[in-house]
Structure 1
Amino acid sequence: MKATGNDAAVKAPLKDHLRFHRAHTHLAPTFGQSWFALKAEAFARFFGTPMFLGGQTLVVTVWIVLNVSGITHFDPYPFILLNLAFSLQAAYAAPLILLAETRQAERDKANAEADALHREDLARANELRQKVAADHAEQMIRLIEMNTDLTNVTKQLTERIEQLTLELHKKLV
């Protein structure tokens, strides 16, 4: 089937479905775009992985085994150096995780707002389609009424022509 010029007018223009989200793309990286920001985000994401937890468990186990077994004595029993390492890790991890959560909340809020705008746009488009459909229905009803009127006029004219034909036939015959 070949498309005509009217078919193009009937089709809706293609819309950018991400148009409401594009304003918030600057929120995509958690800590920004710089080298440090990307490394900080990767580090914050790494804290919650099984690989990190397994690696940390392995390091702590080796640390304690080396110091308790007597192989080395760089951090004897109350493991003050190990506690200091954990405190240092917590001092860096907590702010990074909180910052990541804050930025994620900002991204979630921005995406929710963009989704709401998108839903509103869809609702407006749906209302417009319904209005156009109602207008078309009204137009169809008017056209059917006009067709009915024309059919009645045609019937009346046909009956009148038949009557005149009969009268003319009587006068001529």
Structure 2
Amino acid sequence: MARPSRQMTLDAPRGRTGMLGRSPQPSQDRFGRFSEAFARGMGTSSFLIGMTVFVVVWLAWNTLLPPQYQFDPRAQNFTLLTLILSLQASYAAPLILLAQNRQDDRDRVQIEQDRQRAERNLADTEYLAREVVALRMAMTELTGEVLSRDALRQELKALLEQLDARADQQADASS
């Protein structure tokens, strides 16, 4: 007996076969983007000011208030504050390094693209230089004299004007 085919519905993503189907995989780049945002945020003056205010308030609270209100007393050398700052540093350093590695990869790709573009520009320039030399040689053969740069420009302008005149004539004829 043949199985009935499932109809596609608009309320279910394509490729899902029901509750036991695979769920979509999270983007592999999501953590990298998070690390870049984290590193970018830690490098701002507002983060440094906020962190300074946090530490000053923490120290003032645990130094100036009566002992029953202190949660990280000075007598214990602010152990909790030290633990929190160490934990932040232990997570911040690898995230910043990951963000730097991603930036290095992007820079490497950009440098390669720039190199390829420069090679294409050089090849185009060399081609055009060869074409100009070929034009000079052809004009020398036609006229029997060596052409100067100004003479070549005048000849090219004359040819361009002739081409424009032909294009105008063809446009008038087709209208």
| 1:54 equivalent in structure 2 | 49
1:74-128 CA distance string (max 9 Å, x none):
0011111001111110111000001111111111111111111111111000000
CA distance 1:110–1:67, shift in 2 (3 Å): same
1:1-173 matched pairs, under 5 angstroms: 33-34=29-30, 36-70=31-65, 72-77=69-74, 78-145=77-144
Cα gap change, 1:134 to 1:32, in 2 (>3 Å): farther
| Matched residue type, 2:123 | R
2:62/2:70 contact within 8 Å kept? yes
What is the rounded CA distance, in whole Å, between the counterparts of 2:54 and 2:116 in structure 1?
50
**TM-score after normalising by structure 1:** 0.62
**Larger RCO (CA under 8 A, 6+ residues apart):** 1
Which aligned segments of 4 or more residues in structure 1 are displaced greater than 4 angstroms?
Answer: none
Residues of 2 paired with 1:101 and 1:143: CA distance? Answer: 62
Contact 1:44 1:96 in 2 (8 A): yes
RMSD: 1.9
Hey, what's the Cα distance between the residues in 1 that align with 2:38 and 2:101? 16
Question: CA, structure 1 residues 104+38, in 2 after alignment: closer, same or farther (shift >3 Å)?
Answer: closer
Give CA deviations for 1:44-74 in whole Å, capped at 9, x if unaligned: 2111110100000000000000110015310
C-alpha distance in 2, partners of 1:134/1:81?
A: 79
Separation in 2, partners of 1:116, 1:62: 53
Question: 1:33 deviation in Å?
Answer: 4.2
Amino acid at match of 2:53: L
- Partner amino acid, structure 2, of 1:48: G
| Structure 1 unpaired stretches of 5+ | 1-30, 147-173
Query: Which secondary structure state, in structure 1, belongs to the residue aligned with residue 112 of structure 2?
Result: helix
More helix, by proportion: 1
Structure ID, larger Rg: 1
- Work out whether residues 35 and 99 of structure 2, in 8 Å CA contact, stay in contact via their aligned partners in 1: no
